[in-house]
Amino acid sequence: MTRIASWNVNSVKARLEHLLKWLKDSSPDIVLLQELKCISENFPALEIEELGYNVAVAGQKTYNGVAILSKSPIEIERTTLPGDEADEQARYLEAFTGNVRVASIYLPNGNPIPGDKFDYKLAWMERLYHHTRGLLEYQEALVLGGDYNVIPEAGDVYSPQAFADDALYQPESRAALRKIVNLGLTDAYRAMTPETGRYTWWGYQAGGWQKDNGVRIDHLLLSPQAADRLEKCDIDKTPRGWEKPSDHTPIWCQLSD
């Protein structure tokens, strides 16, 4: 079996001890990390390699940044999302590892709306749609995981009204995600857990974590070949309860061999 997890760590430097503890406790085979907030050279590769992981990083100073950790060798396929040569934001890393093609995705937030950031978000999602369509032609196990910054449905947010003016819940954002999923992908968590009201992100303000005022914006999208192997998928809320945590918590799925 292969266990694949995704986690927006919200600064790998600030959350390194949390990350190392979680890797020791959970021991996933493949980990997709987002929002590293460091250049590739400053990524704590040595500490993570000591736990038995290979490391691939696409970093950026202060902002963004994605990584793939794997117990198997990593063949890097892409360090950028095609479609815009001028885009320098580190938001996409694709590799083949452990007999699975994976991508770590940190989709743009898009706030405030309207504005350039929301336009960038929608354009980025259109690029992801076209690239995914090409990847599916390989007809192989593919997992596109990460922080999508999109709330798919009303049941994926504690209060739709609270996010009515947020880029994460705009009709255009949700439609763009549906368009990608409708290529033939499976939302692993929803496939295994039909009930709503389970979240992957809770804000730091106003007791969001304590009140369970969360949203589900971290997703694992599987190709048909990966979905056929899907055995489990769950959200690990434990790290969100630690001291000075990331505002996201890991989501993971298990694929049969």
Q: What is the pLDDT of residues 220-229, one digit of tens each?
A: 999 999 999 9
Selection from 257, 249, 141, 131 nearest residue 188 by Cα:
141
Q: Residue 121 — pLDDT band, cuts 50, 70, 90?
A: very high
Q: How many domains does the chain have?
A: 1
Q: What is the pTM of this model?
A: 0.97
CATH of residue 176: 3.60.10.10
What range does the domain containing 17 cover? 2-255
Q: What is the pLDDT of residue 126?
A: 98
> Residue 233: is its pLDDT beyond 90?
yes
* Interval 86-97 mean pLDDT: 97
Average pLDDT, whole number, for the chain?
A: 97
